[in-house]
Amino acid sequence: MSEIVFTVRSESDGAQYRLEASRTDRGIRFTCSCAAGLKGAHCQHRLALLLKDTRACVEVIDADVAALHQMAKGSHLMQAVEMMVQAQATVDEAQADLRRAKRVLATMLGG
């Protein structure tokens, strides 16, 4: 199985990182050459591409992005990404609820 390679540019310092995705027996292997990626931590570059956010890509090749998603589809990696997105949405919703509750409380205490 061939490898899919992406190059992304860091927003903060312009450094370029290389991402490589390939299929394995267990799903997908997706590496990034940034500091977080090399340490084995999850990095924003891989997460962004798995979420179809190609803004950091030096060159966007639609076929490669599509191939990455085909490769990741149904994998444990993609399940984990979806779980994270869902958890983030829950947090965002809770924060919005908290802001609303604080506004209501402030109105009551201020009146």
The answer to whether 21 contacts Zn ion (rule: CB under 5 A) is no
Assigned token pair, 19: 């991402």
CB of 4 to Zn ion, least distance (A): 15
Interface region with Zn ion, contact rule CB under 5 A, candidates 38-46, 55-63, 71-79, 81-89: 38-46
Distance between CA atoms of 37 and 17, rounded to whole angstroms? Answer: 10
Distance between CA atoms of 42 and 32, rounded to whole angstroms? Answer: 9
b/e per residue 75-87 (b: at least 16 CB within 10 A):
bebbeebeeeeee
Q: Binding-site residue total for Zn ion (CB under 5 A)?
A: 5
Residue whose CB is less far from Zn ion, 21 or 32:
32
The answer to whether 49 contacts Zn ion (rule: CB under 5 A) is no
Contacts to Zn ion by CB under 5 A: 32, 34, 37, 43, 45
